[in-house]
Amino acid sequence: MIDIARAMLPGGNVGQYQIGRGMSSAVFRAFGVSTAQFIDVVRRASTDDDVAAWLCSQSSVAAAALSRRLTNLTVADVPEELRADFQRFYGGDHPTDRCVFDILEADDARTFAK
């Protein structure tokens, strides 16, 4: 999400990626921040760690609980209104118990193999 936010800044190229919809919206909800806030923090941050520290400071949920919650997001958790887009980008043949972030990481590995 940090890389996508950077690509949205002047001089970047976001391509087909999006932020604030799909699973990034679930992450932002979990932390209690908006997409605009996140992009602004990325704009001002020197490092990814700075962004992570800011995110953690925004959450009222314990870090371990938040990590479990996000790590355990599965295909079944993709909101119905986003399911068609998710399937278009990542395929519709994933088991419902497959971790969403495993799918996203595999897609990034294929997309950025070079």
Q: What is the mean pLDDT of each run of 10 residues along the chain (114 residues)?
A: 90 82 78 92 95 87 80 87 85 93 86 72
Buried b (16+ CB within 10 A) or exposed e, 40-53: ebbeebeeeeebee
Closest CA to 17 of 114, 107, 77, 113: 107
Q: Which two tokens stand for residue 58?
A: 């925004």
Q: Which residue has the tokens 């760690």?
A: 49
Q: Which residues contact 22 (CB under 8 A, 6 or more apart)?
A: 78, 82, 85, 86
Q: What's this model's pTM, rounded to 2 decimal places? A: 0.70
